[in-house]
Amino acid sequence: MRWLLRLYPRRWRERYEDEMLALLEQHTVTPATIADLLLGALDAHLHYDAFGEGVIYVINRLRASVIEVFYAFILYGVGWSMLQRINDPVDTYDGAARVHPELTVLHDAMFIVGCLGFLAFLLGGLPLFFIAVQRAFVHRQRNVLVPFVVSVACLLLFVTATATLAAWHPQTHVYQYLIGYLSLSALLLLVGAVAVSLVIHRAHFEVSDLKFVFVFVFVPEVVIVFSMIVSVLSATALLILITVHAPYLFDTQDVGRPMFIIGLLCMVLSSIFAAIELRRGRLRRLNEDTST
Amino acid sequence: MRYEELGRFADVSFLILASLTSGPKHGYAMMEDIREFSGTQLEPGTLYGAIARLEKKGWIEALPAENRRRPYRITTAGIAAFREQVATLQRVTTVGKERLAIWEGS
């Protein structure tokens, strides 16, 4: 039964694992017991918080939640970007949209809430990142400053590559360059995301930061997750409408059906993951718990 | 946190409080006691979900472990909460009996 208890959160196991194992040794284990333990593990992940177990744990939990929402948003961004070119070439898409204006509404909704989520992502992420780097400078934390430099380098490289491609602007698609650009962007995104998460993971946060985090990180996180969910719903409706009313778009547009579905799956999975992490990192009863 | 905020663990919590009112018990002893007095066979996941909530609310507290088995005892706040719940149940029982009597008499 020990393997089932491993499904429980680490803090839970530290507190209850031994006594639960002792109980299970005396208890007749049935399929109902296994199902009950599985549900119990899920419940513990969703509801067990350890505010009473120390502020350090709260900070670490928040930190983990922020990093995981960040990763979820990156995955969401990849899926969202894949879907954006459904209206290219414009002429074919506009032809379908004139007959079915709801296509434009859904596409615009997906685009707008995606942008809203990205704005919230910047508003929430940049101040936290700034605090982390500022503390790293003060405390001379080399293990934070190095990933910070790497993340900035990734951003600069991406901007340079994009600007170069935009300035060059060839009249015909040169696929070797396009694939090279996309591969480089994916690599920079991956390295940059890992570097940023290392900055947050290793940064020195203090108790006073918690209230700041609540307003400037938790609220944007709510907006991010809301945007993700709304855009998933819009994209799903768009997929259904195109399939029903204008299936030829999947042949004529830059985004084919497989690409659309992969993009949508990325968005769905990341939204579920972000919602779970948001719940896990919530700061319920922050004031009374950190004041003790 | 109020009693109703225990959600689906409210009934289990009531049974645990009832069990601990007769003295401290570890998890397995609680399960056996509850099965005897209520006929409800609790499973470990449900039991510990409720124990965690009751402990966090301060209605029960853990005692030092004895051979990996940790006994729990009800606290003063737990007794007060339990008393309130028993009173509510008594009112429900009284009304239920009255209405049954009316129904059976009609």
Question: Which chain B residues contact residue A16 at CB under 8 A?
Answer: 48, 51-52
Contact by Cβ (8 Å): A253, A36: no
Q: Distance between CA A43 and CA B49 in Å, rounded?
A: 8
Q: Which of B44, B65, B67 sits opposite A20 (nearest CB)?
A: B44
Q: Distance between CA A57 and CA B76 in Å, rounded?
A: 29
Residue B6 in this model has a pLDDT that exceeds 60: no
Contact by Cβ (8 Å): A8, A41: yes
Question: Which chain B residues contact residue A20 at CB under 8 A?
Answer: 27, 44, 48
Beta bridge partners of A84: none
Identity of residue A253: Q
Identity of residue A130: F
Measuring CA to CA, which residue among B21, B57, B16 is closest to residue B38? B16
Q: Which residues contact A203 (CB under 8 A, 6 or more apart)?
A: A63, A131, A132, A133, A135, A136, A141, A144
Count of all residues that appear for chain A in the document? 292
Mean pLDDT of B11-29: 93
Extract the tokens encoding A95.
């032809």
For chain B, counts of helices (H) and of strands (E): 4, 2
Extract the tokens encoding A214.
């609540």
Looking at residue B10, its pLDDT comes to: 64
For chain A, counts of helices (H) and of strands (E): 13, 0
Interchain proximity A19–B43, CB inside 8 Å: no
Looking at residue B1, its pLDDT comes to: 43
Residues of A with CB under 8 A from a CB of B: 12, 15-16, 18-24, 26-27, 32-33, 36-41, 43-44, 48, 52
pLDDT above 70 covers a percentage of chain B that reads 90
Residue B68, class by beta-carbon neighbours within 10 Å (0-12 exposed, 13-18 middle, 19+ buried)? middle
More confident residue, A79 or B105: A79
Looking at residue A2, its pLDDT comes to: 77
* Tens digits of pLDDT across chain A (292 residues): 778 888 888 888 888 988 999 999 988 888 899 888 988 888 887 777 654 455 556 667 677 777 888 888 888 998 998 888 888 888 888 888 888 888 889 999 999 998 998 898 888 788 888 888 888 888 788 888 999 999 999 999 999 988 888 887 666 667 777 788 888 988 998 898 889 888 888 887 765 666 666 667 777 888 888 999 999 999 999 989 998 988 888 888 888 888 889 999 999 999 988 888 777 665 544 444 444 3
Looking at residue A87, its pLDDT comes to: 82
Question: Which chain A residues contact residue B48 at CB under 8 A?
Answer: 16, 20, 40
Measuring CA to CA, which residue among A132, A118, A145, A102 is closest to residue A224? A118
Strand, helix or coil for residue B74: strand
Q: Distance between CA A83 and CA A105 in Å, rounded?
A: 15
More confident residue, B64 or B83: B83
Give residue limits of the domains in chain B.
3-105
Looking at residue A112, its pLDDT comes to: 92
DSSP B16-50: HHHHHTTS-B-HHHHHHHHHHHH-----HHHHHHH
Looking at residue A86, its pLDDT comes to: 84
Q: Distance between CA B97 and CA B106 in Å, rounded?
A: 14
Q: Distance between CA A223 and CA A241 in Å, rounded?
A: 27
Instruction: Give residue A166's Cα distance to chain centre.
Output: 28
Interchain proximity A19–B70, CB inside 8 Å: yes
Classify domain B3-105 at the CATH class level. Answer: mainly alpha
Looking at residue B81, its pLDDT comes to: 92
Residue A138, class by beta-carbon neighbours within 10 Å (0-12 exposed, 13-18 middle, 19+ buried)? exposed
Count of all residues that appear for chain B in the document? 106
Looking at residue A291, its pLDDT comes to: 40
Tens of pLDDT, residue by residue over B30-78, are 999 999 999 888 999 999 999 998 988 889 988 888 888 899 999 999 9
